[in-house]
Amino acid sequence: MRQQNLIIFFLLVPFVIGIGTFRASAGNLQPAAQVEYKIKAAFLLNFAKFITWPQKSSPEEDQSFTMCVLGEDPFGPTLAGIEARSVRGEKIKLRYIGDTGQATGCRLLFVSRSEKELLGDILAALQGKGIVTVSDIQGFAARGGSIEFVTRGNRLSFIINLAQANKQGVHMNASLLNLATRVIR
């Protein structure tokens, strides 16, 4: 039943966001890029709900779920208000960072397309830090990223690099794996 609910949710999120976004207000429709990143933001939040990270090493550590964006911000105002949400009882904290040295504490890290040329160095620097990396850079998962957004036709989907996630010490729910277009083992 839980898997069925998860599948329904992932299928309906883009549809609901799309309908809300395309409503005409005084004849204005939002550009496709804004719609795309609204959907990706919803996916990020839902990815976080179906991934288990290693336990924090001490109770004194910040008890929040830190989501980070590395590089130029493609989301714009889309992520505004995400800090009012929570993941497994932990309040979400959103951070925008300029380099991997600032990634301490990040659990889910979106790597912007602006970082494409530095991707090898970024992924090497984050290795073993328990950070799930997500991007829409083509070939991201094959190069060692955890989750890559892909578009097939007009449908947004994702590839999961399960081998990389396991190296990071995170566990991805089987239902999430079943929704992926491809799983790299």
pLDDT, tens digit, 9 for 90 and up, residues 162-175: 999 999 999 999 99
**Cβ–Cβ < 8 Å for 92, 67:** yes
51/113 Cα distance (integer angstroms): 23
Q: Tell me the CATH number at 153.
A: 3.40.50
Percent of the chain past pLDDT 70, that is, above it, reads 80
* Pairing mode of beta strands 51-52, 171-172: antiparallel
Give the orientation angle of helix 2-22 with respect to helix 32-49, to 10 degrees: 160
Where does the pLDDT of residue 18 fall: very low under 50, low under 70, confident under 90, or very high at 90 and above?
Answer: very low
Prediction pTM value? 0.84
For residue 13, give its domain range: 2-184
Percent of the chain past pLDDT 90, that is, above it, reads 72
Name 125's Cβ contacts closer than 8 Å, sequence gap at least 6: 100, 101, 103
**Once rounded to an integer, what is the mean pLDDT over residues 136-146?**
98
pLDDT at position 30:
60
Q: Which residue has the higher pLDDT, 4 or 179?
A: 179
In the chain, what is the straight-line distance between the N-terminal and C-terminal CA atoms, in Å? 26
Per-residue pLDDT of 144-156, as tens digits, reads 999 999 998 889 9
Long-range Cβ contact pairs of 142-146 (< 8 A, separation 24 or more): 142/184, 143/119, 145/111, 145/119, 146/170
DSSP assignment, residue 141? T
pLDDT at position 75:
95
Q: Where are the alpha helices (DSSP H) in the chain?
A: 2-22, 32-49, 119-126, 162-167, 174-179
How many domains, the chain?
1
Per-residue pLDDT of 41-93, as tens digits, reads 999 999 999 999 987 654 555 679 999 999 999 999 999 889 999 998 999 99
Q: Looking up tokens 């097939």, which residue turns up?
A: 152
pLDDT at position 27:
40
